[in-house]
């Protein structure tokens, strides 16, 4: 049985992308994460140390959004998933990276990539 912490809309100004103007100017990236864990111990003890601290998850994600630039959403999503999986108690993670201002020559509301890692 897995429980789930859901964080949506973690925002940051990153410089990810393959085009020079994306690297130079940057743009907003938005990340949603589903963090799978077993939370029954925390429910019993009512102690933060017995669960995954969602504030820590948000800080990790934000740091990677605004951190070292990468070319692809796939790389950013993988870095986020790998970092979250290193937190104690995480058994699986879903990461969705949104790039709403992606340089596409037709109108789109959003571009997003979702990955799941055990």
Which candidate in 34, 99, 106, 110 is catalytic?
99
The pLDDT confidence band at residue 41, using thresholds 50, 70 and 90, is: very high
Provide long-range contacts, Cβ within 8 A and 24+ apart, for 20-27.
21/103, 22/103, 23/69, 27/99, 27/101
Q: Which pLDDT tens digit goes with each residue over 82-113? A: 999 999 999 999 999 999 999 999 999 999 99
Residue (of 35, 30, 49) closest to 99 by Cα position: 30
Q: How many domains does the chain have?
A: 1
pTM, two decimal places: 0.96
Is residue 1's pLDDT more than 80?
no
Is 92 among the residues known to form the active site? no
| Count of Cβ atoms closer than 10 Å to residue 82 Cβ | 13
Domain that holds residue 82: 3-117
- CATH number at 10 reads 3.30.1130.10
């Amino acid at each position: 049985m897995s429980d789930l912490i859901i964080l949506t809309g973690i925002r940051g100004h990153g410089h990810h992308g393959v085009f020079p103007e994306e690297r130079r100017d940057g743009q907003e990236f938005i990340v949603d994460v589903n963090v799978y864990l077993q939370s029954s111990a925390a429910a019993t003890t009512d102690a933060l140390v017995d669960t995954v601290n969602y504030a820590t998850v948000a800080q990790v994600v934000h740091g990677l959004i605004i951190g070292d630039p990468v070319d692809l959403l796939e790389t950013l999503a993988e870095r986020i998933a790998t970092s979250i999986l290193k937190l104690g108690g995480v058994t699986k993670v879903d990461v969705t990276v949104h790039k709403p201002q992606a340089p596409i020559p037709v109108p789109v509301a959003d571009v997003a990539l979702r990955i799941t890692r055990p």
